Amino acid sequence: MLGVGDKFPQFNVKAVSDAKLEDINIDNVFIDVTDESYPGKWKVVFFYPKDFTFVCPTEIAAFGDLNDEFQDRDTQVLTASTDSEFVHWAWRREQEELKNLPFPMLSDVKRELTSSLGILDKAEGVAQRAVYITDPDNIIRFVMVTDLNVGRNPKEVLRVLDALQTDELCPCNWSKGDETIDLHEATA
């Protein structure tokens, strides 16, 4: 599995647009997203196992609720699974909390990205529940993978992003606005 310090793999996938439901039409519902689509931005890319399931929409909606905070930090959120863009679109239309999802839903139907990252679940053949934070140079700065049955905490991902963006030493349970560790004071 790729980890901290590795370059996020190159990819080119179809995705369901992040446009508002009432603004989507046949010409803009599907978009192409690549590793170069959001130049100069931090990225949070989180993978989930399957559309039309139970834990996944709770996570996706929770990341959506925090999207403005991620954007305030110059960060693009992306979500992905191994389902097709057509299944993503059907799910987004049908699942109430996903109707106005503010970020694209990537389709890794060929399983190339999940395989490159090393997060294709061997038993189920789907994406593991993984989240990556990459810096503007697409270097992985944080990775977390949980069991397929256990949802993640998007507020913790936001907290880690804040810590990474300080480029300082951040103690346990550090939150935005807290003091960082001054190495000169700590060794004095």
| CA nearest neighbour of 52 among 85, 94, 19 | 94
Find the catalytic residue in 13, 15, 33, 56: 56
Q: Which helix (H) or strand (E) holds 180?
A: none
End-to-end Cα spacing for the chain:
39
Check if 170 is active-site.
Answer: no
Token readout for 56 is 């996944």
Looking at the chain, the number of H-run helices and the number of E-run strands are: 6, 7
DSSP secondary structure string, 84-107?
-HHHHHHHHHHSGGGTT-SS-EEE
**How far apart are alpha carbons 82 and 166 in whole angstroms?**
34
Which sequence positions are flagged as catalytic?
A: 56
